[in-house]
Amino acid sequence: MTFGRSGAASVVLNVGGARYSLSRELLKDFPLRRVSRLHGCRSERDVLEVCDDYDRERNEYFFDRHSEAFGFILLYVRGHGKLRFAPRMCELSFYNEMIYWGLEGAHLEYCCQRRLDDRMSDTYTFYSAEEPGALGRDEVRPGGAEAAPSRRWLERMRRTFEEPTSSLAAQILASVSVVFVIVSMVVLCASTLPDWRAAAADNRSLDDRSRIIEAICIGWFTAECIVRFIVSRNKCEFVKRPLNIIDLLAITPYYISVLMTVFTGENSQLQRAGVTLRVLRMMRIFWVIKLARHFIGLQTLGLTLKRCYREMVMLLVFICVAMAIFSALSQLLEHGLDLETSNKDFASIPAACWWVIISMTTVGYGDMYPITVPGRILGGVCVVSGIVLLALPITFIYHSFVQCYHELKFRSARYSRSLSAEFLN
């Protein structure tokens, strides 16, 4: 440190009245970028660009900021817990403190990130860095004042593959991935057409071309998955994510089918192996779920199901209870009371369950229906009850869907702002 009282072994940080003593060596590599910048200050003017005031006699630097918020941030960067909002403090104010000290929203716990996104979407608030590079996504990380170039490169790569709207390169990469998904789906659907299979049987080159296209698509998906795994921050968390599990389920069957083809032969007499190959090839339909990584609509659906699992379970319980009651009553009225003129479609309660479920959902295929007057009255009650029971939890699910959509749309808008800045630069 080239500025400050000579001979002093430590410096004092005064944040809103709370004083913290730090050694000069600790100050050099302090995780918060604003604090670590004090080590490179050569004049009082440089110091005042970082802090609000300076007392040379006490070697004390004054920051007119929220002391309680700084205490939470300091505990986090020292590794004594996870970063959450300070009690009785506005989320936006705490986020403003994080920006000032050199952190970003990604350092918050997931529950607090959701709270912040909801609050910012309600107020349409955007924060920008106070100076160039102060909030660079690749620069600030707890554990050092300046991230190593290799870590910055890994972070940029991670955002490119994980966040399609974070940069122009990410959008190009996402577009290419979507094209591969569409091509693979078209080839899969075409391969089930009778005309295609007849043409492939007569023309071996057509089947070979489809296999080459499939291999190219699988190669792209495999390379994408490997790169995303390499640049991920937490490898265990990466493996546990639902979309990554779906990617693995979509890729693995291809390699298993190739190995089975090598060991058993394409025209093997082992019928079981042939059925297994067809099942594995049909599992490629999971590729279409990869589109959820690039489209807000599918992400909204997944996030809504995740947050509304209680309502979904409640809806399922409603249907099961009603199905048990109406199926037993319909079987009794249509088959159990008069065996001579009984309705054979309602011979058992499990058979009546099918009629109950299609009636409650107002589908009504017409393949089975009650013929007695009591049975028809019960059918009307069943239909009305199904409408009411299905409508009760739908309101909660609808509001959650709207909230999830606005949240994801707002996150996408934030990344689009950084994309626009990158494009202009």
What CATH number did the domain enclosing 290 receive? 1.20.120.350
Two structure tokens written together for 355: 């009629």
* Residues 401 and 360 reside in one and the same domain: yes
Q: How far is CA 97 from CA 21, 64, 111, 266, 291, in A?
A: 20, 11, 18, 64, 37
pLDDT number for residue 60: 87
The secondary structure element, H or E, covering residue 13 is strand 10-15
Contact present, 63 and 52 (Cβ < 8 Å): yes
Q: Give the pLDDT band of residue 109 (cuts 50, 70, 90).
A: confident
* Residues 209 and 319 reside in one and the same domain: no
Domain boundary among 272, 294, 316: 294
* Residues 286 and 304 reside in one and the same domain: no
Number of domains present in the structure of the chain? 3
Cα 401 vs. chain centroid, distance in angstroms? 15
Q: Give the pLDDT band of residue 385 (cuts 50, 70, 90).
A: very high
Most trustworthy range by pLDDT among 60-69, 281-290, 340-349, 390-399: 60-69
In a domain, 141, yes or no: no
Sheet holding 18-23, edge to edge: 18-23, 10-15, 60-63, 53-55
The secondary structure element, H or E, covering residue 324 is helix 309-331
* Residues 35 and 111 reside in one and the same domain: yes
Closest CA to 226 of 253, 218, 258, 285: 218
In a domain, 159, yes or no: no
Average the pLDDT over 341-349 and give the result.
82
In a domain, 387, yes or no: yes
pLDDT number for residue 136: 41
* Residues 18 and 66 reside in one and the same domain: yes
pLDDT number for residue 272: 46
* Residues 311 and 397 reside in one and the same domain: yes
Neighbour tally for 76: CB within 10 Å: 21
Average the pLDDT over 321-325 and give the result.
92
Domain boundary among 101, 128, 155: 128
- CATH code of the domain in which 57 resides: 3.30.710.10
Q: Looking at the predicted structure, is the pLDDT value of residue 357 above 80?
A: yes
Contact present, 9 and 46 (Cβ < 8 Å): no
Q: Is the pTM of this model over 0.85?
A: no
Q: Looking at the predicted structure, is the pLDDT value of residue 177 above 90?
A: no
In a domain, 381, yes or no: yes
**Which residues span the domain enclosing 54?**
10-128
Q: Give the pLDDT band of residue 76 (cuts 50, 70, 90).
A: confident
Mean pLDDT, rounded, of the chain: 78
Contact present, 34 and 102 (Cβ < 8 Å): yes
- CATH code of the domain in which 325 resides: 1.10.287.70
Domain boundary among 294, 329, 357: 294
